[in-house]
Structure 1
Amino acid sequence: MHSKKIKVQIMKPGLLEDDCLVLGELLIKQLKIPTNQPLQLSFGSFRHNVKVIPLSRLDGIRISQGLAKSMALPARSTLRIFYRPQSSTIQLGPIIGVLISQDYPDVTERPFGPITQFCRELANACQRQGVFVYFFTPSHIGSSSSKVTGWLYADGWKKTELPAANVFYNRLTSRKLENKPSVQHFMKEVKSLYGSHYFNEKFLDKTEVFDALGKAPSLAGYMPESHLFRNYAMLKSMCSRHPIVFLKPIKGSLGKGIIRISRLDGGAYQTLTAQVGGTQKHNYASLSKLFTALSGKMKSTRYQIQQGLHLILMDRRPVDFRALVQKNRFGKWSVTSVVARIANDQHFVSNLARGGSLCTLKNAISRSTLPPAAKKRLNVRLKKAALDIALGIDQQIPAHFGELGIDLAVDQHGRIWLLEVNSKPSKNDNTPLGGSKIRPSVKQVIEYSRFLSGF
């Protein structure tokens, strides 16, 4: 049977032993918990031998103050409870540990900078579902994998020592932090010792994605021609086949450093480079001169060279689509949202960080330059493409993902193309944060974490 949501009552010192749990008789009966034998209490990596004391007309669970302190449980907690007869274990939880890049302990109102509001929203949603969540950074990982120092929300943010979680959700925004030996070792240990799950465990490089998905025949129709950029011969070959090509930093994000190359009359070429303040334009008399100019950048940055596409326009600006796909409470991929992203006047990329703007899918399709016949069922086709690609990532890349941001383009003929797959999609790219309302994207993180942990 499924887990039950219960309120945890922490007793005053001296009223209850640390090895005793008081449970309502109805709950004991529903979960088939034996009361005449020693049991184990499990809360993330925390383990403790206990005995159960039944009490009629009790809705929740009573534990001692000492036990609550060992578990790092604040007052008035709501958790889920589950009994596993095979191991005689009462499980409380689940615990979700969210790995973030940085904290600011001295800024009490915004301890996580710009993502504080998202963290608060997730904490509120977890509280409603009886899920325990905390937030920690790589610097909080110590020598023991059974504990981390992290942040809880309980009448304000507070920092404390916590058990390792049942499920870890990687929201690191830096490859350098993600690849730190301490982070890699910790995740390996908690998986091995406590059966913890770790999703969105790595960044995806553009070359890795296109090489992997290129092996799936069912995805061929979505894939623009794309290669790791190596030399002048490759540039010449791509430019001979496509009037526009793009160079994209394989480890880039937010549209930074993308170069658009287009043919001009008389054998000349033009580059447009996406920069913070706008687009930088250069003209070159020949392709070889263009390549010479690029050679310096190639020493420090590896690029993916990709076929350019003639995107549909909205208000005379290019538009593409960001699909947020997440695994649900059944562990299956589902589409949480699809939004249109319209490029800014000064940019040819649509990223919000480059001044792009958001628009609803329906509005973008109706106002686009697509012929009426191509507009029909485009929303359905975009969602199918996003799901197909997410399944392809699971099948072709040996890593655990629970959510993906999939950027799709539609050309003037209505054909759908893959632009990019992002394993750390922004939480501000789909629907805005708003008041006390919990967004579907946040709920889905909790649903999938409950699926993984068995709660």
Structure 2
Amino acid sequence: MSTKKVTIQVTGSGILQDDVIMLGEGVLKALKIPSGRPLQLQFGSYRREVTVIPVPRYDGLRINQTVASKTGLVPRSVLSVSYRSASRTLRLGPFISVLVSQDYPDQPDRPFGSITMFCHELVKACRKQGAYVSFFTPEDIGAVTGHIQGWVYDDGWKKTVLPIADVVNNRLTSRKLENKPSVQHFMKEVKSLYGTQTFNEKFLDKNEVFDALKSITTLKRVLPESYLLKSSATLKTMCTRYPVVFLKPVRGSLGKGIIRVSRQIDGSFLTLATSVGGTRKQTYTSLDKLYASLSGKMKTTRYQIQQGLSLIDNSGRPVDFRALVQKNRSGKWSVTSIVARIAGGSHYVSNLARGGSLSTVKEAVAKTQLPVSAKASAFANLHTAALDIAKGIEQAIPAHFGELGIDLAMDTTGRVWLLEVNSKPSKNDNTPLSESKIRPSVKAMLEYSTYLAGF
């Protein structure tokens, strides 16, 4: 479908009637939009009958103050416009809403805290491409009535009444918020009433991911042996099979609560646990005693037990990789970035929150014990694995995802392994190392939203 970009101009009250809009003559001709006859104007869930008046030597769109207040459109917004002759519908968009965990109305310069810069970047990207974006929180969700309170940018952040968007990107960072009945009800209602597309609609947990991917033959090579820890028998089997295993909270993030278990020469077992102050060491004379020490934690935390791997390191500091995989303008998975993460001096996990540092893949593998041929093919192998895993998630887990943070590792032979898949990748952890005005990850999110909205 062909589209044209237009800049929104809002006229004062009394100059233009509510049911009349003015559109550049060139846009009308290019999209074969009839003038002087009633059409349906659509923006997200907003619809009203309007008559279009052509304006010579003008390439924008003029609406009056009443229509602007009902649509939430601010002056100088740049939107795409399309026309469907069969339904006589003049459509503006794409209209994208981002569901964020919290806002801070008393901080007008930083209403979304640490992700305000990401939000502003998305506004800039939308104005450049011809799209509109708003931001809302679970607190803004009430009964679904075709409109909602949300934030828009107009030479500063402001909260206003908006229609329901064409696309909702779920950026909630809390399972508790995501599982609120009001949030779940909203997601279902807007889909059924307005055809709104929602992506990254749920969190993933480690057990769900590994269980689902085990069914895909082509992915078995990248999956370390992994089970939900339910009994001491599972712990004993894994610790007999491997000299090192990892216990990972099924719903953990940022490397919190990971326990490394290693078998010692004297038959005892050493545990290293990540904690706020660093790494906590403890030795157990038997696996029964180790399991007993875990039983208290297991009342509130489920653990995934995973095969320990002989991973590459950089001067003794473990290295792993974060691939950001996103859907593109054609709705296909594409790798946006892959960065290496090198663990901090006192840690065995590489998360930036635990003192890790970022590097390019090439720089990180150059200082490892990998064979020369494996160093040369490292990036390509990581790229292939990340793409295959994203496709596998889509195939095996019944939910809609538009971006995934995929944590990968590489052993000393160059073999790639999956560590974890995150359906709410941090907007800091995957930042490309070269600074640009609008990051590729933001562009990709906008392009997929545009595809979903049908523009």
Give the TM-score normalised by structure 2. 0.98
Aligned partner of 2:164 in structure 1 is 164
Q: Secondary structure at the match of 1:431?
A: coil
Q: Indicate if the aligned counterparts of 2:168 and 2:198 stay in contact, CA closer than 8 A.
A: yes
Q: Please, which moves more after superposition, 110-119 or 208-217?
A: 110-119
Which string of whole-angstrom CA distances, capped at 9 and with x for unpartnered residues, describes residues 310-344 of structure 1?
11011211000000000010100000000000111
Amino acid corresponding to residue 48 of structure 2 in structure 1:
H
Which string of whole-angstrom CA distances, capped at 9 and with x for unpartnered residues, describes residues 128-180 of structure 1?
11211111100001212411111111101111111111000011000010011
Q: Indicate if the aligned counterparts of 2:144 and 2:189 stay in contact, CA closer than 8 A.
A: no
Amino acid corresponding to residue 287 of structure 1 in structure 2:
L
Q: Please, which moves more after superposition, 172-181 or 359-368?
A: 359-368
1:37-48 matches, cutoff 5 A: 37-48=37-48
Shift of 1:435: 7.8
Amino acid corresponding to residue 370 of structure 1 in structure 2:
L
Q: Please, which moves more after superposition, 429-438 or 254-263?
A: 429-438
Q: Secondary structure at the match of 1:267?
A: coil
Residues matched between the structures, number: 455
Aligned partner of 1:391 in structure 2 is 391
Shift of 1:376: 2.2
Aligned partner of 1:134 in structure 2 is 134
Aligned partner of 2:354 in structure 1 is 354
Are residues 1:444 and 2:444 paired? yes
Shift of 1:86: 2.4
Q: Indicate if the aligned counterparts of 1:199 and 1:402 stay in contact, CA closer than 8 A.
A: yes
Q: Please, which moves more after superposition, 395-404 or 23-32?
A: 23-32
Aligned partner of 1:193 in structure 2 is 193
Shift of 1:3: 1.7
1:181-330 matches, cutoff 5 A: 181-330=181-330
Q: Secondary structure at the match of 2:266?
A: helix
Q: Indicate if the aligned counterparts of 2:70 and 2:161 stay in contact, CA closer than 8 A.
A: no
Q: Secondary structure at the match of 1:266?
A: coil
Amino acid corresponding to residue 404 of structure 2 in structure 1:
L
Shift of 1:354: 1.0
Q: Indicate if the aligned counterparts of 2:339 and 2:432 stay in contact, CA closer than 8 A.
A: no
Amino acid corresponding to residue 312 of structure 2 in structure 1:
I
Q: Secondary structure at the match of 1:33?
A: coil
Amino acid corresponding to residue 30 of structure 1 in structure 2:
A
Which string of whole-angstrom CA distances, capped at 9 and with x for unpartnered residues, describes residues 248-276 of structure 1?
00011000000110000121001110112
Distance in 2 between residues matched to 1:280 and 1:86, nearest whole Å: 67
- Go from structure 1 to structure 2 and tell me whether the alpha carbon gap of 1:66 and 1:192 turns closer, same or farther (over 3 Å shift): same
Q: Please, which moves more after superposition, 122-131 or 337-346?
A: 122-131
Aligned partner of 1:431 in structure 2 is 431
1:410-421 matches, cutoff 5 A: 410-421=410-421
Distance in 1 between residues matched to 2:344 and 2:377, nearest whole Å: 27
Distance in 2 between residues matched to 1:280 and 1:196, nearest whole Å: 47
Amino acid corresponding to residue 335 of structure 2 in structure 1:
V
Q: Secondary structure at the match of 1:59?
A: coil
Q: Please, which moves more after superposition, 411-420 or 46-55?
A: 46-55
Shift of 1:189: 0.8
Distance in 1 between residues matched to 2:33 and 2:433, nearest whole Å: 41
Amino acid corresponding to residue 110 of structure 2 in structure 1:
R
Shift of 1:432: 5.7
Q: Secondary structure at the match of 1:369?
A: coil
Distance in 2 between residues matched to 1:436 and 1:173, nearest whole Å: 25
CA RMSD of aligned residues (A): 1.3
Q: Secondary structure at the match of 1:187?
A: helix
Amino acid corresponding to residue 271 of structure 2 in structure 1:
T
Gaps of 5+ in 2: none
Q: Secondary structure at the match of 1:86?
A: coil
Q: Please, which moves more after superposition, 267-276 or 61-70?
A: 61-70
Aligned partner of 2:7 in structure 1 is 7
Are residues 1:379 and 2:379 paired? yes
Aligned partner of 2:51 in structure 1 is 51
Q: Please, which moves more after superposition, 37-46 or 433-442?
A: 433-442
Q: Indicate if the aligned counterparts of 1:145 and 1:186 stay in contact, CA closer than 8 A.
A: no
Identity within the alignment, %? 63
Distance in 2 between residues matched to 1:81 and 1:181, nearest whole Å: 35
